[in-house]
Amino acid sequence: MQISDLWSQFRAEARTSYGLFSRDVNWEEVDKGKRWKRPFRAAGALFWAMLMKLSPARRVLLLAAVASLLFVSAQIETRHGSVTVISVGILSPGVILLFILLALELADRVTMKRDLEIAREIQRWLVPETPPDIPGYDIAFMSRPANTVAGDYYDTIPRGLARNPSAKHGKLLLVVADVAGKSVPAAILMATFQASLRAIEATGTSLGELVRSLNFYVCENSRSGLRFITAFFAELEAGSGEIRYTSAGHHPALLRRAAGQVEELTEGGLPLGIELEEQFPAGQTRLGVGDILFIYTDGLVEAVNAKQEEFGKARLTDVLRPCGGTNTAAEVLARVTRVLDSFVGAAPQHDDITCMVVRRRQAG
């Protein structure tokens, strides 16, 4: 890696680590008293926050290592007057203790990383690996977790009697969902949401009843609304291009017409898990030849760069507008991600990003 890339990565990781420890610091107490003492109080508070993240045994180990290093430094300074010699032997007790502590923490990190990778692999089994082959359409999707595991979900499900995805006049259920929160808790709720969606859909219920049943399930498991889910559901009739859709508190999907204008699909209700009796009114539209349906989670439009500027819906719309009818769904998705990556740069990703693109290339 180039030096500039290494430095950018170091800065991003340093910001993330600082944010983790600074959340446990009482900054009002740090700011009290004389101004010249504040840097020392801040350093002490951050060290204490870091210390409290360790297990009790490792706290003692770290304190012993620091005390040993300070003792060696004091001995060197006494022998050489006012000049402090920084050289400390690799076999000094303080250095050895720090290496032991590093090894213990690294072992925990490797074990946790391995478990999370297994969880991520299980998540991959729950979502389609490749887009379905629908005559007259092409579909593309991508998902980028902010952490190893994600709380975003996407799916394409053949409906009712049309269980063959390549059926010319079948129906296809398109779903993109976003669980509140990130990492393991969100991933677990995402997995149970997927299981419930598949089980309810298999009964052949209507789109409205499907969403209401899912809402009932999420309400029962939302911990008084703390674990809600936003989702966009669309039922596509492949032969005619007719779309029946509803949004559960999700960002409106964007419909880029062949002529260039971009429409928002706004019909819907509250997020799943908020109100038990929510009805989720449905909207209806039609996907014509050359039209592009773009469904996404909020991690896309809320992505920020180093200046803390959001990518935003307006910028996303500007990216979609020039996409002509000859662009495939994969090309549209690649264009959006390319512009997003250029905008964000080296800034860390704070939320999961998921997108689904459906393009109609010819009439049925």
Contact residues for 308 (Cβ-Cβ < 8 A; gap 6+): none
Mean pLDDT of 323-348: 89
**The model's pTM:** 0.72
Is the pLDDT at 90 greater than 60, yes or no? no
Is the pLDDT at 161 greater than 60, yes or no? no
Domain boundary among 64, 94, 122: 122
Instruction: Note the pLDDT tens digit of each residue in 29-67.
Output: 777 777 777 888 888 887 777 777 777 777 777 778 777
Distance CA 228, CA 95 (A): 48
Quick one: pLDDT at residue 315? 94
211 and 332 inside one domain: yes
Neighbours of 302 (CB within 10 A): 15
| Block residue for tokens 């946790």 | 112
Contact residues for 311 (Cβ-Cβ < 8 A; gap 6+): 300, 301, 302, 303, 304, 340, 343, 344
Quick one: pLDDT at residue 106? 60
Estimate to the nearest angstrom the gap between the alpha carbon of 42 and the chain centroid: 31
Domain boundary among 122, 143, 174: 122
204 and 151 inside one domain: yes
Q: Write the DSSP string, 274-311.
A: T-TT-----EEEE--TT-EEEEE-HHHHT-B-TT--B-
137 and 179 inside one domain: yes
- How far lies 75's CA from each of 81, 86, 95, 279, in Å? 10, 11, 16, 75
Helices 313-320, 329-344: crossing angle, 10 deg rounding: 140
**Measured distance between the N- and C-terminal CA atoms of the chain, rounded to whole angstroms:** 50
209: CATH? 3.60.40.10
Quick one: pLDDT at residue 73? 56
> Does residue 253 contact residue 272 with C-beta atoms inside 8 Å?
no
Quick one: pLDDT at residue 92? 66
In a domain, 128, yes or no: no
In degrees, rounded to 5, the angle at the alpha carbon of residue 359 between the alpha carbons of residues 302 and 353 is: 20
113 and 63 inside one domain: yes
Confidence of residue 125 (pLDDT cuts 50, 70, 90): low
Is the pLDDT at 130 greater than 70, yes or no? yes
Confidence of residue 109 (pLDDT cuts 50, 70, 90): low
Please choose, from the candidates 284, 338, 291, the residue with its C-alpha nearest in 3D space to the C-alpha of residue 311: 338
In a domain, 8, yes or no: yes
Domain that holds residue 171: 133-360
Mean pLDDT of 94-101: 69
- How far lies 241's CA from each of 81, 110, 288, in Å? 85, 49, 6
| Block residue for tokens 């002490």 | 44
Distance CA 231, CA 19 (A): 30
Q: Which amino acid is at 271?
A: P
Q: Which is more confidently placed, 176 or 111?
A: 176
What tokens appear for 229 in the block? 């889910």
Distance CA 145, CA 131 (A): 19
Instruction: Note the pLDDT tens digit of each residue in 171-204.
Output: 999 999 998 866 677 777 888 888 899 999 988 8
Length of the chain: 364
> Does residue 201 contact residue 159 with C-beta atoms inside 8 Å?
yes
140 and 116 inside one domain: no
117 and 146 inside one domain: no
> Does residue 287 contact residue 241 with C-beta atoms inside 8 Å?
yes
What tokens appear for 9 in the block? 């990565």
150 and 30 inside one domain: no
What tokens appear for 314 in the block? 């307006």
Please choose, from the candidates 226, 126, 135, 148, the residue with its C-alpha nearest in 3D space to the C-alpha of residue 180: 226
Number of domains present in the structure of the chain: 2
Q: What average pLDDT does the chain have? A: 81
Quick one: pLDDT at residue 327? 85
What tokens appear for 335 in the block? 């264009």
> Residue 25, SS3?
coil
114 and 159 inside one domain: no
Q: Which is more confidently placed, 68 or 238?
A: 238
> Does residue 245 contact residue 176 with C-beta atoms inside 8 Å?
no
What tokens appear for 140 in the block? 């593309």
Is the pLDDT at 235 greater than 50, yes or no? yes
- How far lies 337's CA from each of 56, 297, 340, in Å? 44, 13, 5
151 and 97 inside one domain: no
